[in-house]
Amino acid sequence: MKNKTTRFSDNISIRNKKASFHYLLIEKLEVGIVLQGSEIKSIREGKVSIQEAHCVVIGGEVFVRSLNIAIYKESSIYNHEPTRERKLLLSKKEIERFRVKSEEKGLTIIPTKLYITKKGIAKMEIALARGKKLHDKREIMKKKAHNREIRIIKSI
């Protein structure tokens, strides 16, 4: 028997790296996501972008918008739409809690991480977030630059 080598990675974890820079993350939650067959294959290849994505509550359900999952090239003509709305799987209590909080001024729901579990299930981490002001971002950049300088001096 030949060993099959796959081009899919075992541990896929796509992070929204700019989320913590642009937003103050208040509350995080792990949720499931409804996908089509070709979408899960693209995720396993790591061809996903969650930088532009955000979540909305519509009619008692939560959807993620602008999540870009690239088209799977080896799929048939029945491939998926790359930026379609995808339903997130939450309990009714969680949906209501996030809906009430997201209606507050300045709060939004954003995806922070998309990953595959050991069982092969796609999960997404979403966060209730408040946008940071420009001066807050500048302070963070100053602190990072200062810490970088200190590390360089200590290493010398």
Within-domain flag for 134: yes
Structural domain of 136: 13-155
CATH code of residue 129: 2.40.280.10
Residue 118 lies in a domain: yes
Q: How many CB atoms lie within 10 A of CB 139?
A: 12
Q: Is residue 4 part of a domain?
A: no
Classify residue 8: in a domain, yes or no. Answer: no
pLDDT of res. 27: 92
Number of domains in the chain: 1
Query: pLDDT by residue (tens digit) across 7-59?
Result: 555 677 888 888 888 888 899 999 999 998 888 888 888 889 999 999 999 99
Within a 10 A sphere around the Cβ of 61, how many other Cβ atoms?
13
pLDDT in tens, 67-113: 999 888 877 777 788 888 999 999 999 999 999 988 888 799 999 99
Domain contains 81: yes
Handedness of CA 145, 151, 154, 156 (dihedral sign): negative
First to last CA, the chain: 55
Is 143 part of a structural domain of the chain? yes
In this structure, what DSSP letter does residue 74 have? T
* 136 has a pLDDT exceeding 80: no
